[in-house]
Structure 1
Amino acid sequence: MKTKIAVLGAGSWGSMLAAILNENGHTVQLWTRSAAQAEELNQQHTNEKYIKNYTFPTNLRATTDLETALTDATDVLFIVPAQATRSVAADVAPILQKLDLKPHLIHGSKGLETTTHLRISQVLAETIAPEQRESISVISGPSHAEGVAQHDPTLVTVASDDFDAATHFQKLFMNDYFRVYTNSDVIGVEFGGALKNIIALASGALAGLGYGDNSRAALMTRGVAEISRLGVSFGANPLTFAGLSGMGDVIVTATSTNSRNYRAGYQLGQGIPLADVIANMGMVIEGIATSQAAYDLAQTTGISMPITEAIHAVLNQEETVPAAIHALMTREGQTENG
């Protein structure tokens, strides 16, 4: 089955998913706001800022014109930063109407909208009318673009309320090194993908202070517990958080230097000011904005999220990293399954 797929966002993950789809035999149009990036992809077939030492397929084309990207698209993949999704979707909606298109939508943005605390599928549903979309899905899981570029065996999940849509995208993406599972728990998959970035910030901070395996294993385990508590309160299946988009994504993001959130946390642990960390990264650190949204949700729902609260305090310069760790370790004793 060959399709025309518009991939909106040419960062590391967007460009790599575009390459997978192209390799699988589909027609792919990659959209970016940057004319220089589009020219590099089209002429040199590289995307050096985001994926070092990787050559993209020569027939993968990039454009800065959104209408060109969307023309004849049967599927639209949103891989832009979470806080930019609404504005991009707002630009997409009238073009879909103009072109009389009703594509399947899917996103891979791992965050929550800070102003509304909405999940990204909810943002898409609010912004693009039902008559302009066939379905909404999310792709998530333990997957660094750098590993996929090396054809590292990678497993992800596609979640949708529409089972046919999930299996549709499963078929589009899956090949011998990129395996895709389906899932009906959109809430759990989106909360897992978004909130694991907070745990990655914390894990990097521990590493930056020189702490070892014991502390990071404890952090990841308890991190999944609080992610699950919040997700379940919104209707997620608790088993989702033991899967690819839960524990799997926490492990890869909280242990790898390929993770921007881990690298940002590492610098914070070394005492580097947040403004300098952001400037040093030069790319979006999703966990920073998501920590505010998750903190707000924890406060309004009454869900206990001590790690999220600690990271929120550090990012808002209310506590140093060592003080936040001390506060976590000296909290009143709890039952593990409470």
Structure 2
Amino acid sequence: MAESEPKIGIVGSGSWATAMIKMLGDNEVQKHVLWWIRKIEDLTYVKTYHHNPSYLSAVELRVDETNLYTDARQVIQQADIVVLNTPSAYLKAALREVQASDFAGKIVVSAIKGIIPDENLIVGEYLMKVYGIPIEQIVVIGGPCHAEEVSLEKLSYLTLAAKVSDHAEQLGKLLRNRYINTIISTDIFGVEYGAVLKNIYALAGGICHGLGFGDNFLAVLVSNAIREMETCVNAIDPEESRDINASAYLGDLLVTAYSQFSRNRTFGHMIGKGYTVQSAQLEMNMVAEGYYASACIQNIIQGYGLNMPICDTVYQILYNKQPAALEVKKLATKLT
């Protein structure tokens, strides 16, 4: 990549951020990358050993020429393309010192599959409301894609959604390689809301699996879930033409509901087995976005007057502490 090419700032140091660093490194653009790592001890380890000690720790990272920071604002100020890649619950803290002017004129990418707690806003909406970023500058990264499979260089697909297709294509050129393909979309809200919802549905699948339900029931659950998702995203953004069976929606739902790497499915499985929310959170080293999303989506569902029994079931179990077995039994009578 030539020196005139854009600088890419990665804000986050979890598994998905680490996977993106691998993609960029394998594409030999590491000297154009600025990486925010929250903990100084992790930054020092990455710089010394070329591995992230906390996430995807077996993956060797090409970071010899990558600029590493513990100050997110420095990364954002210097970058031409800013990729936000923290759990949604921690984004506000990560951007605490950042000013709206720091984002001026930049392509801002949400690689976060969650809703900002206390705001009931997906990341794109939050960026527009709080930082005044025009929707034309925003790109959303969707799936279906697990960081663990990227780290193993398994062939994977990313959906890049933007109102300005050139912005999505520019990001795609940086990420595409022999194991990463990209799909370009204009459906920013649908892709981002779909990514939020599929985490809740994967959590539901995990709960059912933990309770002892089998693949037959999970298949019915997932087929109902995709119809629920379509109802929701079409109510929120009815103007966009979308095919709910496309990879960004159905594909992302399937991989999150069935994969061994799905943290939301794992979290749900623990709940189904009798763990409390708190004990399940303590045992997992990664954030299950579906937990936070459940409460936020519930408010959105009520606002639009939508009938979404799977989302409601998950909410009743997680937040109203209703018995999982009883709630799933009631849900089973509503599935078709």
TM-score, normalization: structure 2?
0.92
CA separation of 1:267/1:28 partners in 2, compared to 1, >3 Å: closer, same or farther?
same
Instruction: Give ranges in structure 2 of 5+ residues lacking alignment.
Output: none
> What secondary structure is seen at the aligned counterpart in 2 of 1:91?
coil
CA separation of 1:302/1:95 partners in 2, compared to 1, >3 Å: closer, same or farther?
closer
Residue 125 (structure 1) shift: 1.4
Instruction: Give ranges in structure 1 of 5+ residues lacking alignment.
Output: none
Residues 203, 262 of structure 1: 8 Å contact kept: yes
Residues 188, 241 of structure 1: 8 Å contact kept: no
> What secondary structure is seen at the aligned counterpart in 1 of 2:13?
coil
CA separation of 1:58/1:21 partners in 2, compared to 1, >3 Å: closer, same or farther?
closer
| In structure 2, distance between residues paired with 1:329 and 1:233 | 25
Residue 95 (structure 1) shift: 6.8
Residue 82 (structure 1) shift: 1.3
Residues 153, 177 of structure 1: 8 Å contact kept: yes
Residues 139, 159 of structure 1: 8 Å contact kept: yes
Between stretches 237-246 and 139-148, larger displacement belongs to 237-246
Instruction: Provide, for residues 7-39 of structure 1, a one-character-per-residue CA deviation record: whole Å limited to 9, x for no partner.
Output: 000100011112212322321111022111111
CA separation of 1:92/1:18 partners in 2, compared to 1, >3 Å: closer, same or farther?
farther
| In structure 2, distance between residues paired with 1:280 and 1:14 | 22
The equivalent residue for 2:56 is 51
The equivalent residue for 2:242 is 239
CA RMSD after TM alignment? 2.0
| In structure 2, distance between residues paired with 1:35 and 1:23 | 25
Map 1:161-176 to 2 at 5 A.
161-176=163-178
> What secondary structure is seen at the aligned counterpart in 1 of 2:157?
strand
The equivalent residue for 1:24 is 27
Alignment of 1:182 with 2:212, yes or no, is no
- Among 290, 293, 303, the alignment partner of 1:290 is 293
Residue 239 (structure 1) shift: 3.2
Alignment of 1:311 with 2:314, yes or no, is yes
Residues 136, 163 of structure 2: 8 Å contact kept: no
Alignment of 1:66 with 2:66, yes or no, is no
Residues 73, 95 of structure 2: 8 Å contact kept: no
Alignment of 1:193 with 2:195, yes or no, is yes
Alignment of 1:279 with 2:282, yes or no, is yes
> What secondary structure is seen at the aligned counterpart in 1 of 2:86?
coil
The equivalent residue for 1:122 is 125
> What secondary structure is seen at the aligned counterpart in 1 of 2:242?
helix
CA separation of 1:247/1:114 partners in 2, compared to 1, >3 Å: closer, same or farther?
same
Residues 90, 128 of structure 1: 8 Å contact kept: no
Instruction: Provide, for residues 140-192 of structure 1, a one-character-per-residue CA deviation record: whole Å limited to 9, x for no partner.
Output: 11111110011100011110111221221122211121011110011110111
CA separation of 1:94/1:76 partners in 2, compared to 1, >3 Å: closer, same or farther?
same
Give the ranges of 4+ consecutive aligned residues of structure 1 lying more than 6 Å apart after TM superposition: none
Instruction: Provide, for residues 204-232 of structure 1, a one-character-per-residue CA deviation record: whole Å limited to 9, x for no partner.
Output: 11221222211111111111111111110
| In structure 2, distance between residues paired with 1:180 and 1:260 | 23
> What secondary structure is seen at the aligned counterpart in 1 of 2:254?
helix
Residue 62 (structure 1) shift: 2.6
How high is the sequence identity, in percent, across the aligned residues? 28
- When the two structures are aligned, how many residues end up with a matched partner? 329
